[in-house]
Amino acid sequence: MGHHHTSNHIIYGLYTDETDLLKAVQKAKDDHLDIFNVYTPFPVHGLDPILGLAESRLHITGFVYGLLGTLTAFLGMSWIFTRDWPVIFGGKPYWPVPSFIPITFELTVLFAAIGMVVTFYTVSGMGPGITNPILDPRITDDKFCIAFNETTATDGDINKFKSFFQETGASEVNSKEIDA
C-alpha cells in the first residue's frame, strides 16, 4: 500500500458455515492467494494456524503491566511507611511486609487488566466512537467472509479470486471500496 491509494478495492466471498470457510482458507493458502482478511461472527477455532496468524502477544503485555502494578503497590507502600511518613500502627514494624500482600495483589490484577484492555483496543484500532469499514452487515450475524484486495491486482488475479470463490462454495461474491 503506497501513498497513492486512499481506498482499497476489496472483493469478498461469503460462506454460510465455518467448515466451508476453513476449507476455503486452506485452499487459498495452497493456491498462494494473498488473503486480505477473514471475518467471522464468532471465533472459529482452527482458523489461526491455517491463516498463518502468529500467536497474540497480548498476554505478554499483561505480564508486564501486572509486574508494573506489583512494583507500584509494593514500592509505593514501602516508601510511604519507611521514608515519607513512618508511623507505628498497633506495635507493628515500620515495614510490615505481610500487610502489603493484599493491596500488592489487587494492584497487580488491576494494572494487568486495564493495561491489557487498553492495549487490545489500541492495537486493534478500536475504541469508543471509532468506526471501521464493514464489508457486509451479515458478518456479525451468520456469514463467514474471505476478502481479497484487488486494488493492485491484475485481471488475471481477479479472475483467480472469482474462480476460487466459485470452487470453494461461497454463497455470494461482492466487492466494495473501503478506506485504506
Partner 1 sequence: MSAPISPVRQPLITGSKTYHQITEDLCSPTERAPNATWVIAFLISVSVLGFGLFCIAWTIWKGIGTWGSNRTIGWAWDITNFVWWIGIGHAGTLISAILLLFRQKWRTGVNRAAEAMTIFAVLCAALFPGIHVGRAWVVFYFFPYPNTRGPLWPNFNSPLLWDLFAISTYFTVSLLFWYTGLVPDFATVRDRAKGIRKKVYTFLAFGWTGAAKHWQRWESLSLVLAGIATPLVLSVHTIVSFDFATSVIPGWHTTIFPPYFVAGAIFSGFAMVQTLMLITRKVLNLQDYITVEHIESMNKVILATGSIVGVAYLTELFIAWYSGYIYEQFAFFNRAVGIYWWSYFGMMACNVISPQFFWNKKLRRSITFTFFMSIFINIGMWFERFVIIATTLARDYLPSSWSFYKPTWVEVGIYLGTMGLFFTLYLIFVRVAPVVAIAEVKSILKAGGDQYVEKHKAHHEKAELEAPAHH
User: Does 106 sit near partner 1 (CB under 8 A)?
Assistant: yes
With a CB cutoff of 8 Å and minimum separation 6, the contacts of 96 are: 81, 89
- CA 96 to the chain's CA centroid: 41
Determine contact, residues 151/2, Cβ cutoff 8 Å: no
Q: Which is nearer to partner 1, 121 or 159 (CB)?
A: 121
Neighbours of 13 (CB within 10 A): 24
User: Does 132 sit near partner 1 (CB under 8 A)?
Assistant: yes
- List 9, 20, 72, 96, residue binding partner 1 (CB under 8 A): 96
User: Does 90 sit near partner 1 (CB under 8 A)?
Assistant: yes
- List 31, 82, 126, 179, residue binding partner 1 (CB under 8 A): 126
Residue 96 CA to residue 157 CA, distance in Å, equals 69
Closest CA to 52 of 85, 79, 25, 21: 25
User: Does 67 sit near partner 1 (CB under 8 A)?
Assistant: no
- List 31, 46, 67, 92, residue binding partner 1 (CB under 8 A): 92
Tell me the DSSP string of 107-135: HHHHHHHHHHHHHHHHHTT--TT-----S
User: Does 13 sit near partner 1 (CB under 8 A)?
Assistant: no
Instruction: Give, as ranges, the residues between 14 and 43 that touch partner 1 (CB under 8 A).
Output: 18, 37-43
Q: Which residues bind partner 1 (CB under 8 A)?
A: 18, 37-45, 47-48, 51, 53, 56, 58-59, 62, 66, 76-77, 80-81, 84-85, 87, 89-90, 92, 96, 99-100, 102-103, 105-107, 109-110, 112-114, 116-117, 120-121, 123-134, 137-142, 145
